[in-house]
């Protein structure tokens, strides 16, 4: 039994040390946004954020996660109040089939947390590990830029800086 911190909550998980994080997220915690694509860390559909870094959950064993914070797409926002990255992807209609999109959103989220104004080249480099056959790449690029603007606006809003009462 080990403690896994996911989306701000601690979970007691009974999994072998070499069990990939993806299986625990989907099977034990019923968090299904991270998708099983290739199982080899080559397609990006299983991407989640661990301590601020985008990782491929299908190849990260549970033993490496003790004391670390895991964030999944479900932990970013809700249907009623989507996070800026989720909202931007919806507004830009960046998803076609949607299978790869949760992983792309998580990798983009990790990028925007460390670089609030990425260039097209930086976004492309960050999303390069993701396989997408639907052809919405330009919409995805626009969505990441829109999310950056939304996050920037949220950071300077009166509620964000504590001056609203």
pLDDT of residue 134: 80
Q: What is the DSSP letter of 4?
A: E
Nearest to 72 by CA among 60, 114, 38, 148: 60
Q: Is 156 helix (H, G, I), strand (E, B) or coil?
A: helix
DSSP string covering 50-96 = ETTEEEETTS-BGGGGTTPEEE-GGGT--SSS--HHHHHHHHTT--S
Question: What pLDDT digit, counting tens, does each position of 8-47 carry?
Answer: 999 999 999 999 999 999 999 999 999 999 889 889 999 9
78-92, 114-128, 149-163: range with lowest mean pLDDT: 149-163
Question: What pLDDT digit, counting tens, does each position of 48-62 carry?
Answer: 999 999 999 999 999
pLDDT of residue 61: 97
Q: Helices 84-91 and 101-114 sit at what angle, rounded to 10 degrees? A: 130
E runs forming strands in the chain: 2-6, 9-13, 47-50, 53-56, 69-71
List the domains of the chain with CATH numbers: 2-75 (3.10.20.30), 84-156 (1.10.150.120)
Q: What percent of the chain has pLDDT over 70?
A: 93
């Amino acid at each position: 039994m080990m403690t896994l911190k996911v989306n701000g909550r601690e979970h007691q998980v009974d999994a072998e040390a070499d069990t990939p994080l993806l299986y625990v997220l989907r099977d034990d915690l019923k968090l299904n946004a991270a998708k099983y694509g290739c199982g080899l860390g080559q397609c990006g559909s299983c991407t989640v954020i661990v301590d601020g870094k985008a990782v491929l959950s299908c190849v990260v064993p549970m033993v490496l996660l003790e004391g670390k914070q895991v964030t999944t797409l479900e932990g970013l926002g809700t249907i009623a109040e989507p996070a800026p990255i989720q909202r931007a992807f919806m507004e830009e209609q960046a998803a076609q089939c949607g299978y790869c999109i949760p992983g792309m959103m998580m990798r983009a989220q990790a990028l925007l947390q460390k670089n609030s104004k990425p260039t097209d080249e930086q976004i492309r480099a960050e999303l390069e590990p993701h396989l997408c056959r639907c052809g919405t790449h330009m919409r995805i690029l626009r969505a990441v830029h829109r999310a950056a603007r939304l996050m920037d606006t949220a950071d300077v809003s009166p509620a964000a800086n504590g001056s609203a009462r």
